[in-house]
Chains A and B, each alone.
Chain A
Amino acid sequence: DAGITQSPRHKVTETGTPVTLRCHQTENHRYMYWYRQDPGHGLRLIHYSYGVKDTDKGEVSDGYSVSRSKTEDFLLTLESATSSQTSVYFCAISDQGGGTEAFFGQGTRLTVV
């Protein structure tokens, strides 16, 4: 399995609180992605990174921010969590972006109450 670790694996938080999810890779892959997975929607891209300090928005980026200060770590922050952000979040990595397969972490189940 690709070396991808997501933390925490589960989190319950209250509406309005900030939350940061971490993705750590040991593969030295250039591209990193954050997705959310909800019933009926499949995987939707929140943000992605194509290098250190190089990030861009995905299709559902509102309410989320990201940072990548080093190759191995990609952080996803919910500045003020809302119930609509209750979801399962997956981090993915890819060596060459869309030209090769993406490998996924085990996911973080986030519940906003």
Chain B
Amino acid sequence: GENVGLHLPTLSVQEGDNSIINCAYSNSASDYFIWYKQESGKGPQFIIDIRSNMDKRQGQRVTVLLNKTVKHLSLQIAATQPGDSAVYFCAETNGTYKYIFGTGTRLKVLA
């Protein structure tokens, strides 16, 4: 929603450059991770996911990297476009029904 980004860290990137958004997750037992994109006034939208038996997964213009040693997740967006401007957050699960969401990072794409 419109109030999501008020207190979030912001990453400003020039159009065409690559973006890297980071997330530290909390539970070493988490085995499934998801990145979401949330545009103003909309619900979170699934981007890409990765399971704990993988270190890297690629999608269209996006790559997720998982470092289980330091409990760190990153989302790389290649050739960032104005339409990529949004809030991005990660989610983790540990085999239960529940998802744990990070607070997010606001990505601003500069023309």
Q: Which residues of A contact B (CB under 8 A)?
A: 31, 33, 37-43, 45, 48, 50, 56, 58, 88, 90, 92, 94, 97-107, 109
Contacts and interface: CB of A to CB of B under 8 A. Distances in A.
B42 interface: yes
Given A42-B102, A42-B104, A90-B43, A101 B49 contact: yes
B43 A104 contact: yes
Interface residues of B, number: 28
Contacts of B3: 37-39, 88
Interface in B95-110: 95-99, 101-104
Main secondary structure on A side of the interface with B: strand
Contact of A48 (B41, B95, B98, B103): B98
A107 B38 CA distance: 11
B4 A107 contact: no
B104 A98 contact: no
Nearest to A9: B41
A41 B1 contact: no
B97 A98 contact: yes
Contacts of A37: 1, 3-4
Nearest to A45: B98
